[in-house]
Structure 1
Amino acid sequence: MAKVAETASNGMEESVVEVLQELLLEFQDELENADLVYRNTRLRWAAALRMVPKKYPSDLRMTIDSIPTNTCTERMPNLDVAMGVLKDSRVYFTLDWMKG
């Protein structure tokens, strides 16, 4: 819950931070119990949660900070570029390493 501590250091009242932390934990438990998410024990690709106020102050929206995750991802190849490489080829084959 590093982001909760960061929120507290940015001037949000401690009581509000505690409520947000409880809300996040409850929401996380609900998602896990509904099998919509699972706990990532490796924490390799996890994104930090952020609670953002909606139109009404009592409503909150849970979002993620995807910038660190995006810096670790590789761009997908462009189909036009891949087809250009195959332009004068006569033999094609595929290898499927995932299905054996």
Structure 2
Amino acid sequence: MLRYTLMRLGIFAGCFAAVWGLSYAGLLPQGLGSSNGLWLLLLAMVLSAPISFVVLRKQRDSASVQIAARVDRAKAGFGRSASQEDLADEAGSGPGGARAGG
């Protein structure tokens, strides 16, 4: 997961450098007033999103498999915990095992 994030940041940085270079060369508009930095960031985000979607498909799929495995393990753990609580409740509610409660 960390590898995917770093690769995505690298693609963004590359897009930002390319957009900055094109803006510096005068091939892209400079923005309005002092908004050039924000303009460059937004344009780099818009460009890097589809690039990373296509280029990082394999890494994204492997990250989603890892996340799904973690979720399945957590669900199994919660299921075991819930069944143990149910067994404890059933054992405590038998004859002579009534709990004092409120």
TM-score above 0.5: no
Name the structure with the higher strand share.
Answer: 1
TM-score for both structures, normalised by structure 1: 0.31
Determine which structure has greater relative contact order: mean sequence separation of CA pairs < 8 Å that are 6+ residues apart, divided by chain length: 2
TM-score for both structures, normalised by structure 2: 0.30
Name the structure with the higher helix share.
Answer: 2
Flag the structure with larger Rg: 2
